[in-house]
Structure 1
Amino acid sequence: MHYPKVNCANQLDPFLALRGLACLVVVFYHVAPPRNFIGYQNYDFSWILFGHGYAAVLVFFCLSGYLMGKVFYSGRYTLDRTGVFNFWRNRILRIFPLYYFSIFILAVFVYTPILQISNWEYLFRLSTFTYNQSLPIEFSGSFWSLSTEFQFYLVVPLIYAGFKNRLQTQKQVIFSFGAILLLVCLLRLGFTVIFKTQEIHDNYIQYIYTPLLTNIDVFMCGFLVNAWLKCKKSNEPKPSTDVLTKPFVFNVSSHAKKIIAFTLVIILFLFTAYYYYYHGPGESIVYPAVTAIITSLFIGLFESSGNDESFHKNEKLSLDAIVRNPVRILEIGGVLSYGVYLWHQAILAKITTIITSIHPVEVFLIKLVGTLVLSSVLATITYYAIEIPAARWKLYRSSTKTNTP
């Protein structure tokens, strides 16, 4: 007698792996590799190491948009008062503990000027998720994306309420996808023209790079992948055993979809690296749309590969699971990405002050290895000491009606 196989596989979680890759790109970007570092027969291949940190942050945004939309589309949260409260409560438990702990540690031991009374205004902005990198004093620039992300969490229920009954076909989803990209792209272009002054860098950071409004398209594209998958599932023809009447459909295998998805992401980071290396900062117009499209394709390819539910029932990441499936080691970067992202710039700042070498390559390698190792160690400590205990307080189901297996 054969029993149905339980869908609890030991397979790679692609979204954690992508988060880890994006976090690594951010670290490389802040460490700043030297130019003309890698060469072969008069060709400079150093650009390979110059993946732009902004594009990596946009990948975070798109993934977040998808995952925050999925928890509503899947029924984990509902649009009643309790469901929305639980959603916000769980986001607070995910973000606040490590966020405020890191602000405290960095303010006391690294960026001490922010504790001066004259700078409390900027400390307040950090504490209220309104930080946009425009502080006149030094502080870890990475924190701006947490402000933008938390602002997005506040409006997720409203976005879901607005779209859940209005997008009924895949054509409508694709049209919405394109319209949002176009509108926000025009908005960025308009801001670029309006604020093109002598203080162009400060204006770019404050009005184009960090605000929710000029990053909402990337969030929304990830969010709309849920609507596309829902429409795709509802429009799929019923299976037919009759060979003569069964429609011919060109199907790409699940394995091929995964290869295509990761290939697209690699192309994305190589594109941003090449563009940044040879053309400088032009990401306000180019990067968001390209990143949103490729990251959304990555998500769609994996979630339509026939095993989208497996990531909810996947075996918990452990040393034994990694030994049996070594590729899962990529998930470690995703698990630690939040801590590494918050700690790495402060660690890099401290390492930079004690380096005595003047050789650019040696300086780069010391900063890179030191930053990766120390931020990973600190992220591991805070993951077990802060993130995991906080996660135990999370609530999901908003009512007993939705409490199904």
Structure 2
Amino acid sequence: MQSKNIDYLLILRGLASIGVIFGHALTYENYAFYKVLENSTSLIGKSLLSIYPMGGANFVLIFFVLSGYLMGKLFFNEKYTFDKENLLRFYKNRFFRIAPLLYFNLIICLIFFEQSNPSFLQIIGDFFFFNNITGRNINLVTWSISHEMQYYLLAPFIFLFFNNLKSSANMKLFKYGLLIFLFFISLHFTGLNYMYCFLAGFSINYFLLNKEKIDNKKLNPLLVLLITFTVSNLFFYFFYNSNNDFTARIILILFIMCLIYFLERINFKKNMENKFLQGLMFLGKISYGVYLWHYPILVVISNYLIKYISENSYGTFIQDSIIFHLMQIISTLTLTILISAVTFKYIEIKFRPTLYKGINK
């Protein structure tokens, strides 16, 4: 039997995609549970409100850091070189990784999603990856795709610039200093104001450069991943809910950078046939579809449930809120995962047949 490698970064991607669903579901108006906590005078209620998941943007930041690292890794590992043929191959592969499912999703939303009401300019922005400039009104979560594609456009040149700098101690210091400078500049640069996430991920490659893997058979990587993922996002919400968005983002990104470094630097005990880990990896494989499909599905289900519960109250607002979220999240997760699995097989894989093939070696 052919063994399967466990890709913990893929698991991280899958967890982030589920996090986005929870972030959007738990803040959906009318019966959102945070309204219960806002009226609470108890210490427990106030404490829970301080870390309540107000949205899912933090999980998108995790996607961005991962993309920054992985795109940089492709060039550091010389899967692509900086010549015309390889650049065209890189851009072609990135386009066919992102565009087919995105276009299918946008067309479906334009036809069937009642909340989709874009202007012509917004449609152009969505289909040509600059809706961070035009605005978007088809599937609201596609804002991140434009930032992703714009980073792909720049990634080879970022690598070329930093790779061509001499590797003396002073030049290494200059590289790190320049990355930090660009990191903070991009925080405030309209249009590219998420580039700092990609740069943070890209910089991990420098810390791993020429480093041999460390064997460690005792540490449980999944446990480390889950703890770091949970703690970092709780810290994010604590600062974000306190109107300290800058601190929230910086702390989250530093946590995720350390986690990626840890997962890439350590050789763990093999768990090749662990079905639970294989399931989490599959969630990572379909995470792009989960991200695209969850929002229209969530809106349709939530609006139906709001109408249903308003006509058939279960008692108090707390009871209605709990029932609402249970039905909302279970239904959204089930439908989203099913549809994402189908579109992964019949759209994503069709356009990129070698997608994730290297994992099963």
Superposed pair shares fold, TM > 0.5: yes
Q: Does 1:273 align with 2:237?
A: yes
Give the alignment partner of residue 295 of structure 1, picking from 250, 256, 263.
Answer: 256
Secondary structure of the equivalent of 1:76? coil
Are the structure 2 counterparts of residues 186 and 96 from structure 1 closer, same or farther at C-alpha, using a change threshold of 3 Å? closer
Secondary structure of the equivalent of 2:140? coil
Q: How does 1:11-22 map to 2 (within 5 A)?
A: 11-22=5-16
Contact between 1:184 and 1:214, CA under 8 Å: does it hold in 2?
no
Amino acid at match of 1:153: Y
Contact between 1:64 and 1:222, CA under 8 Å: does it hold in 2?
yes
Secondary structure of the equivalent of 2:266? coil
Q: Does 1:219 align with 2:218?
A: no
1:73 CA drift (Å): 1.2
Amino acid at match of 1:267: V
**Aligned residue for 2:92?**
89
**Aligned residue for 1:229?**
208
**Aligned residue for 1:194?**
none
**Aligned residue for 1:243?**
none
Quote the Cα distance in structure 1 between the aligned partners of 2:57 and 2:236: 9
Quote the Cα distance in structure 2 between the aligned partners of 1:140 and 1:263: 32
**Aligned residue for 2:128?**
128
Are the structure 2 counterparts of residues 172 and 83 from structure 1 closer, same or farther at C-alpha, using a change threshold of 3 Å? same
What CA deviation, in whole Å up to 9, does each residue of 1:136-185 have, x standing for no partner? x7432210100000010011111111112326378865764465345543
Q: Does 1:25 align with 2:19?
A: yes
Secondary structure of the equivalent of 2:257? helix
Q: How does 1:382-393 map to 2 (within 5 A)?
A: 382-392=343-353
1:289 CA drift (Å): 2.3
Amino acid at match of 2:325: F
What CA deviation, in whole Å up to 9, does each residue of 1:55-102 have, x standing for no partner? 111110110111111111112111111111111111111011101011
Amino acid at match of 2:282: I
What CA deviation, in whole Å up to 9, does each residue of 1:358-385 have, x standing for no partner? 4222222222112111111111111111
1:354 CA drift (Å): 1.3
1:252 CA drift (Å): 8.2
Secondary structure of the equivalent of 2:286? helix
Quote the Cα distance in structure 2 between the aligned partners of 1:170 and 1:228: 14
Unaligned runs of 5+ in 1: 1-7, 192-206, 237-250, 316-320, 395-405
**Aligned residue for 2:316?**
none
Are the structure 2 counterparts of residues 225 and 187 from structure 1 closer, same or farther at C-alpha, using a change threshold of 3 Å? closer
Q: Does 1:353 align with 2:303?
A: yes
Give the alignment partner of residue 281 of structure 2, picking from 306, 312, 331.
Answer: 331
Amino acid at match of 1:377: L
Q: How does 1:360-379 map to 2 (within 5 A)?
A: 360-379=321-340
**Aligned residue for 1:43?**
44
Amino acid at match of 1:122: Q
Contact between 2:215 and 2:267, CA under 8 Å: does it hold in 1?
no
**Aligned residue for 1:4?**
none
**Aligned residue for 1:156?**
155
**Aligned residue for 1:248?**
none
What CA deviation, in whole Å up to 9, does each residue of 1:279-323 have, x standing for no partner? 14x42x223322322222111111111379x9xxx97xxxxx4xx
Q: Could you tell me the TM-score, scaled by structure 1's length?
A: 0.73
Contact between 1:164 and 1:227, CA under 8 Å: does it hold in 2?
no
Quote the Cα distance in structure 2 between the aligned partners of 1:275 and 1:375: 30
Quote the Cα distance in structure 2 between the aligned partners of 1:91 and 1:186: 26
Contact between 2:103 and 2:127, CA under 8 Å: does it hold in 1?
yes
Amino acid at match of 2:132: N
**Aligned residue for 2:358?**
none
Secondary structure of the equivalent of 1:256? coil
Amino acid at match of 2:232: L
Secondary structure of the equivalent of 2:219? helix
Give the alignment partner of residue 306 of structure 1, picking from 255, 258, 267.
Answer: 267
Quote the Cα distance in structure 1 between the aligned partners of 2:168 and 2:216: 24
Q: How does 1:195-274 map to 2 (within 5 A)?
A: 207=190, 211=191, 213-233=192-212, 253=216, 255-256=218-219, 258=221, 259-274=223-238
More deviation, 27-36/172-181: 172-181
Quote the Cα distance in structure 2 between the aligned partners of 1:77 and 1:148: 22
Q: Could you tell me the TM-score, scaled by structure 2's length?
A: 0.81
Amino acid at match of 2:249: P
- The structure having more radius of gyration, on CA atoms, is 1
Q: How does 1:183-194 map to 2 (within 5 A)?
A: 183-185=182-184, 188=187
Are the structure 2 counterparts of residues 74 and 347 from structure 1 closer, same or farther at C-alpha, using a change threshold of 3 Å? same
Contact between 1:142 and 1:345, CA under 8 Å: does it hold in 2?
yes
1:347 CA drift (Å): 0.9
Secondary structure of the equivalent of 1:12? coil
Are the structure 2 counterparts of residues 175 and 28 from structure 1 closer, same or farther at C-alpha, using a change threshold of 3 Å? farther
Quote the Cα distance in structure 1 between the aligned partners of 2:227 and 2:174: 26
